[in-house]
Structure 1
């Protein structure tokens, strides 16, 4: 049996041609592939896509007799919670004769896949993931944790812990840790954020979904900058390879500089500039830019202007070139001579009445107030 599963995992079409596998056998093959993906095997991604296609076809063909085997119905649920086709899951579940709880899970999964979170929560909330077989309990905990992240983050984190407990070393754990990072940051829980980040970097740094973790980590460091120490940030990033660590610090430096967090920006820019053990290159224009931004309120204006002027703008992205232009404009305004207001010439007598009326109307209309736009002032 294991040989057939491994064959399906390595060459799905060959195994399927050999004989028709049961739905649960195909889903086990999918899980083997997903565990390889979680460990950093990016080459397994096309195999996952192919297996999902095969499972979809097999589930469409499955009849009531197939689903008398409980493992096959649980496989249907796992397929759905792995990102399967909601139409296939709904159609297959309608043909199955199984217990009410399993059918409720199926309905909740379909609602989740169709973007109806309120309905999904209503169907799944009464079901304890720890009370169902572990092969679906882990996925159920992951889905419920994701659904409750906004409304009940504490419960969401507890559910994500259950998902990890039920399925360690798998793509389920990878996703649970990744989502825990963002939820903990939103909750202001610096200790939980640091723990989840440490665990993720230690086990899943090379997952193809690690870029999502990086987004959550950078955002969390900015959000929790008053609660998480620079030493703790350095402890976490020290487990990364040097290039990933540098990119993380560049992103932190940029966000911190824009948000006016000069101390954090200076720390991150220095880390990116010096590299691990002080052996980095100081020629990266990004770190030079972010470092300059972090010193605009502390260093002399001439010093900042000189440093900004040496940056090779041709090596910057368009967004960073805009940032450089803005910084140079601000520095230039500081040293610019004060302008003397121009004298207003008297208007011809015939036009004075109309102009005065227009000016009065404009001054009483807030929409016409001559105020500069504020970046980031509009709600998201």
Structure 2
């Protein structure tokens, strides 16, 4: 893989492994970028295909999937839908020194950090395009949300970028989006949209928003494949506490790189579902065991699983991701209390 450079001059995730810091007092390698201005006008490449670390499925793979693949579990795999964990509760009381997360379902979190309320990939709709209705309700009623101070988007797939939900927000809500996605928001009259490339950052009211690599892809129409970027976010408050939201991603070397640039991640929100059949989805979705490895690679003290138990997107039984992530965590010898396997609607506070 070749090394590519963003419009700001920062080096992308592609390339060989980074050297270690030469001493304990040296800054993380590579150094963090200076925050960019909020809502600045950017000019982006026409395509981000060069960011893929594995090719998207071709005609042979599509034909194989048509013959062998499955998009839903069988009857036995769906039988556990009534057992999916759902325990909505009130949002915790917080102040500017408190970090708290609440799982609304799928990749949607209410993150309270540095006095801000941040939504990740907010999807409050019952249905998304091309997918059966959600199998667990949203864990947080929209009416129960405090004022939303910011939104972060990982990529433009319909289960992560939901227009009906975003229409509920004031148009001056700050939005942090991947490179190339600002136009989508501007067409909907959002006025404070900050687009970032990998390894770039912006800052809002003392909270730093770093956009970090993932291996995924983007598409919303027949003609826009990989026209916008994809990735995850590291949110850091003034006290240095960090929450990593991975978005959608396959497993790879980028997790270790993220950990080197952002040492001391307190909590990693990592996807564990939508992985079967593996030959079809391995490059773009972690399975539960890979998610545990990713948490270790980034050096996260705690992991909260997501991207399961909300929409039935692939063929694994609906409860299998939870069972497998718990087993993988135990095999890794990690403290049980550091696996925040929350029910939809539940919250936890960082101590």
- Per the TM superposition, whether the score is higher than 0.5 is no
Higher normalized helix content (fraction of residues): 1
Per the normalisation by structure 1, the TM-score is 0.24
Higher relative contact order (Cα pairs below 8 Å, separated by 6+ residues): 2
Per the normalisation by structure 2, the TM-score is 0.25
For the pair shown, which has the larger CA radius of gyration, 1 or 2? Answer: 1
Higher normalized strand content (fraction of residues): 2
